[in-house]
Structure 1
């Protein structure tokens, strides 16, 4: 079942391994699929532009279901490509294979239990959405609790496939850190990026920015956020080798959002 999810992607990856594997030693199956699934199917900012209220106003889409179907298929397609590399190229070419995820970090807006729990939910709907199934075998409990049956299930065969194709390394794309406010016990506006975790992400607390301003209006320089993110995922994923695959100036994303 895994193999049939996206045979074209596996075919493309196989060509890349065959043609460039003697020179490329570090492979990423995908770049921040957790971000792109939301941009495409939660808030509709990227093609195919699917979304629904209250996350966005699109002609088509269901923000409560489609991001997680897309993410599920991405995870299975990732596993298929890792299997192709491991079975046909890795031993001979001596390379490594992983995946890069968008690694936003979060701090509680207030030192309260509900905002601390909101941080846990926000984290779960970010990196662990993809890496928990790939490394630990299933989605985070926080996601299952909120989404229920709308979150796809992995079959036993798929779980075995994921277990057999674990990562050689994790790539973290980190740009900034946000405050998080609970939206379950204290209703608030629906956040287009983090609202599926029932939270609102903010860049200021009592009028004070979370860090030094950068070239983009919603991204601030928060060095301790990167350290906390790296150490958190180091512990969560049992010291899986980790690289910072993206970090720095955010002007590119700013212009994308500005044009939108």
Structure 2
């Protein structure tokens, strides 16, 4: 059964694997901030923001009537694989310090704050029958009101990996009953917060959860053991219920609330750019399959009502089928899509699924590679994190989405980089370079007609990054665990404020 995880784990494992696998000295980033377009060159209604998730910042897992989530169970049974486990109960104490944190967000000069709501804080056992926790409703009402009073637009994710432990113990997203429970939960949120929340996303990266936790079994001792035969089935059932849960949530929003509340609803997925490993036709075809088995796995059903044809052909009867009624419910079930972009890969054909390992989808008959057949990487190597950075890949995927999916609205819901092992985390020049470069390519995409409506830096604060704990320091704002969780703006925060307001001073 499912144990949610963070996509940064996925990226870190890949980076470590390829760095040790290849003896190669790639080009390093020069550490100079690239020229960046002005905030004022973007459309007036374009949202610039930052993001976090409830699990990664709130803490107070046993306060305010909150029930336990799947990750609380992982914390209780961790055998030493999670860094900073002693900090997980409190996290950065956003639950108690949200007012202070919103004031810092205001100083950043952002338009919007993307955050998630903890299902188990609203419905402690995950079900409507188990009762609504009014203290949880009050907390999010207070947070939302605080944001709005500071001219910050709430941008809410309904589920960001941390669903209730009670539901997990009853099968989680492998149990079709989850569709009803997610619909009920969504209804409670729309009813209580939809008068002020105008941007909703149902899920954050369900396809990453499926691949990481079910196909490869990380954080999930109960996962189907398909590493030998490569004939996985559970992962497709899991994603099927994610997608049907999304559709059910959108249906109730559109039928009961949208006309009155005048909001929008979408879904968030991780996305990567894929370039053929070589000029061989089979490698070109492999990049298409990679897109189908990651991006298309989510977008084809919610845009067109069914899975990509390549998935149907290669997965066969292990891929669940939508009924005709479900197809109608799914088709067009998003007003926008959110994309989390961090990096790109070369796509390489691998016709023998028994030779596919690491974190690739066995059924795609394709693998991702850091280097191409000439030993070249995509983009540059960030010298603070030793990760591979390709800002142009963001432009490429934006254009691809425009051309493939009728230029629907896009929000870049996550983009950012950790701090790796830099000795002075407040001096994060590499993060400034990273964000500035990606913003430049977003503007180029807008200039060629892509309907991009927002850009959110991940993350606002140094958040808990699952197995990496707080060691990667992804935030614009540093959290000092040796000084009562004091918040300190980093150089990147001052740069972002300057980009948005023309002023670097936090006063």
Q: Does TM, scored on the shorter chain, surpass 0.5?
A: yes
Deviation at 1:187? 8.0
* 1:250 CA drift (Å): 4.6
TM-score between the two structures when normalised by the length of structure 2: 0.46
Q: Which residue of 2 aligns with 1:110?
A: 278
Matched with 1:96 is 264
Q: How far does residue 76 in structure 1 lie from its aligned partner after superposition? A: 0.4
Question: Runs of 5+ in structure 2 lacking a partner?
Answer: 1-175, 420-461, 470-507
Correspondent of 2:201 among 19, 28, 42: 28
1:199 and 1:250 map into 2 onto residues whose CA distance is 28
TM-score (norm 1): 0.87
Partner of residue 337, structure 2:
170
Q: How does 1:174-253 map to 2 (within 5 A)?
A: 174-184=341-351, 188-205=355-372, 206-214=374-382, 219-250=387-418
Larger Rg: 2
- The Cα of 1:157 is off from its aligned counterpart by 1.2
TM-aligned CA deviation for residue 162 of structure 1: 1.3
Equivalent-residue separation in structure 2 for 1:72 and 1:116 (angstroms)? 28
Aligned length: 250
- Deviation digits for residues 46-68 of structure 1, max 9, x if unmatched? 44651434379xxxxx8611111
In structure 2, C-alpha distance between the alignment counterparts of 1:186 and 1:195, rounded to whole Å: 5
Contact 1:25 1:95 in 2 (8 A): yes
Change (3 A) 1:250 1:107: farther
Instruction: Tell me the secondary structure at the aligned position of residue 243 of structure 1.
Output: strand
Q: Which residue does 2:225 correspond to in 1? A: 52
Do 1:28 and 1:99's aligned partners in 2 also have CA atoms closer than 8 Å?
yes
Q: Secondary structure at the match of 1:208?
A: coil
Gaps of 5+ in 1: 57-61
Which runs of structure 2 are paired with 1:2-21 in the superposition (5 Å)? 5-21=178-194
1 CA distance for matches of 2:353 and 2:187? 49
Q: Which deviations, in whole Å up to 9, do the C-alpha atoms of 1:141-174 show, x marking residues without a partner? A: 11111101111111111112113x5211011111
* Structure 2 equivalent of residue 123 of structure 1: 291
Provide the alpha-carbon RMSD of the alignment. 2.7
Q: Which one of 312, 316, 329 corresponds to residue 144 of structure 1?
A: 312
Q: 1:115 to 1:47 in 2, by over 3 A?
A: same
Q: Aligned partners of 2:272 and 2:326: how far apart in 1?
A: 28
Q: 1:134 aligns with which of 302, 310, 327?
A: 302
Q: Which residue of 161, 164, 169 maps to 2:329?
A: 161
